[in-house]
Amino acid sequence: MPPSEGAESLAPPVAAQSAGSPVVVGLGPVDPALVRPYLPADTIFVPDPAGGDLALAEGAIVRAAYDVDRALLDRMPRLRIIARTGVGVERVDVDAARERGIAVAVTPGSNSRAVAEGAFAMIASLVKRVGESNAFVACGRWGIDPAPVPGDLFGLTLAVLGYGRIGRIIAGFGEAFGMRVIVHDPFVQADGFENVSLEDAVRRADALTLHLPGGGGELLPLELLREAKPGLVLVNCARADLVSAATLEQALVSGILGGVGLDVFESEPASSHPLAGMPGVLLSPHTSGLSAGAMAATFRMAAEAVTDVLAGRYATFTVGDAR
């Protein structure tokens, strides 16, 4: 993947090496202002690395959409730590890093509230028909056609699939709005919420939000969605493979679903998506976890992981442990 644009001029890394200063690179768009305060004071941070910078790098802060494969690792013989923003490592060759003794750290929880807020905002907007109402006024239909009738959040059943950091927050949001919250997660306690089977969650829900890892095949095929109440609102801010675009399109056209909100897509960027422009659909460009506060927290955690490893300490949130 090509380096990001707009790199700032920095001291030559060869001079930094001779002076004993560690070199840390940013792979993908990494804001220097958000990482430098948490790196060792003598660090040379290179946000747009060239080949020589990569060869000298002891640490790397890596954005979610950047691939770290064996070929790239071969160009970074001094590397000791990869700090990956977010929690997914599907674009990092963790096995290759482990073979080289390179720690791979993630930043769990740094954007959980931002994602939960984004998902709940979609739920509320779809139930209240905000997008349709906006289009109704903007197109000059007010006073000519019947206006979209908003729904009520109060009293609806909200099914939260996945009761991890994000699921817990969004369940609390639903409860605060007077929704009946049910949870599906066979691996955790649901903190007072009813924990039900996947099938039961789909059948009972008025609104359903996904907060599970992907990689296990389609969780919500059309056959299962046919068991839902007509008009179910479904929001996916987790992984695109949990429910396919084709399934969602069929479910919308047939009336199984009354609204869909997506922040994740099978192919990104999704320049043309089958749901784009359909009524009752909200699409956002995989940005629910990229609020200003979330990005600051994510970069801080990544920089702190790099600092720990460069100081000979163990980075707390490490996967594929190379110790």
What are the residue numbers of the active site?
A: 239, 268, 286
Cβ distance 228 to 203 under 8 Å?
A: yes
| Nearest residue to 7 (alpha-carbon basis) of 21, 28, 23, 24 | 28
End-to-end alpha-carbon separation of the chain, Å? 29
Q: Which two tokens stand for residue 284?
A: 């956002």
Which residue is it, tokens 């490490």? 318
Q: Which two tokens stand for residue 183?
A: 């949870």
Cβ distance 34 to 1 under 8 Å?
A: no
**Beta-strand runs (E) in 96-174:** 103-105, 157-161
Residue 182 forms beta bridges with which residues?
Answer: 159, 194
Strand 207-210 to 194-195 pairing:
unpaired
CA dihedral over 69, 74, 76, 77, signed as positive or negative: positive
Judged by DSSP in three states, 191 sits in coil
Cβ distance 127 to 120 under 8 Å?
A: no
Judged by DSSP in three states, 155 sits in coil
The Cα 153–Cα 259 span in angstroms is 14
Q: Which two tokens stand for residue 228?
A: 């839902």
Largest interatomic CA distance in the chain: 75
Judged by DSSP in three states, 318 sits in strand
Backbone angles phi, psi at 77, to 5 degrees: -65, -20
| Nearest residue to 120 (alpha-carbon basis) of 235, 206, 292 | 235
